[in-house]
Copies of this chain bind each other. A is one copy, B any other.
């Protein structure tokens, strides 16, 4: 019996062609960069825990993982009703990642109106494949903007750990490197959760792309010394007018790029565009718990250095206005302010 296999930097899903057996493995991202442990996913409660504890993270990857979980349960001969119940549980496993809802809604459409084992598996595989393709297209579109000698600043983690494919912003960087362009990456550590320091560094090492880790407040000085030529980030939501939300700290990067006349790019799949959201100030900003700012917590250890009763401000995201963006790199193309003004994000 032949085996089909979907693989990414942090997912592995294999299944027999007769849809009788499957194996689902997920790289536990909470243990990175020091330990690469693959979890074998065997039950729905385990998958929910994996999502909620951020062992799998990155909005696109969460949606893909949840969809593959439904495929696995279908292969295990779960009934239509059981799969519908599982879909609901997965849908509710994390509240803010829009991709999770979009993916589960696609799976539900199949579960509800054209249910069959083959259709469920095919839809999950299609979701995986589409994510890979969107990343590839973004990467190709974006890589064309980079040249030999570019010193690229990036923020947070937007690579193969956040998607089923090569990533968004980091996928663009990886593609430029794969094309043989001599580039170097400055990695913002990305306080408070350190996705840059922990995950982007790990990915760049894997990809053998030269990088230098900095604290977020060092980027401006590097710009003043002309050591950064371009900046590229991902996005959690793009409004119809081109304003976009991304990991806290992104806006400061954009302002500093503007001041130093450095091109500032954002890379995201079309699914990140929200045509119903007119502009950035309408994007809700999640506030997170104070402990993340009072210290650091992770599998690497936990310490607190600030007085426990300190008042803390801890928004997870900030909003960057369209006017600070040089171009928007999407799977469908590279858009300028003129394109955005002409309504390219309204469709």
Contact = CB atoms under 8 A, between A and B. Distances in A.
How many copies the complex holds: the figure is 2
B197 A255 contact: no
A311 B221 contact: no
Contact of A189 (B34, B191, B251, B302): B191
A165 B21 CA distance: 73
Interface in A201-227: 201-202, 205, 210-222, 224
Contacts of A38: none
A216 B191 contact: yes
Interface stretch (A51-59, A98-106, A268-276, A289-297): A289-297
A303 B302 contact: yes
A233 to B, nearest CB: 12
B255 A259 contact: yes
A213 B303 contact: no
Interface string A291-309: 0011110101111111101
A217 B313 CA distance: 12
Nearest to A306: B197
A293 B215 contact: yes
B216 A318 contact: no
A142 B241 CA distance: 42
B313 A305 contact: no
B305 A197 contact: yes
A256 B248 contact: no
B216 A310 contact: no
Contacts of A222: 313
B218 A313 contact: yes
A306 B213 contact: yes
A212 to B, nearest CB: 5
Interface string A98-125: 0000000000000000000000000000
A198 B307 CA distance: 7
Given A33-B306, A205-B307, A306-B197, A218 B296 contact: no
A318 B33 contact: no
Nearest to A258: B259
Contact of A217 (B221, B252, B259, B301): B252
Contacts of A300: 295, 303-305
Nearest to A295: B300
A224 B243 CA distance: 13
A194 interface: yes
Contacts of A213: 293-294, 306, 310-313
A251 B295 CA distance: 24
Contacts of A198: 305-306
A171 interface: no
Nearest to A321: B224
Contacts of A313: 186, 212-214, 218, 222
A189 B191 CA distance: 10
Interface string A185-198: 01011111010011
A212 B312 contact: yes
A221 B315 contact: yes
Given A215-B249, A217-B217, A255-B259, 19 more contacts: A34-B307, A189-B191, A189-B306, A191-B217, A197-B294, A211-B311, A212-B313, A214-B293, A214-B313, A214-B314, A215-B248, A217-B249, A217-B252, A218-B318, A221-B252, A259-B259, A295-B300, A296-B305, A300-B303
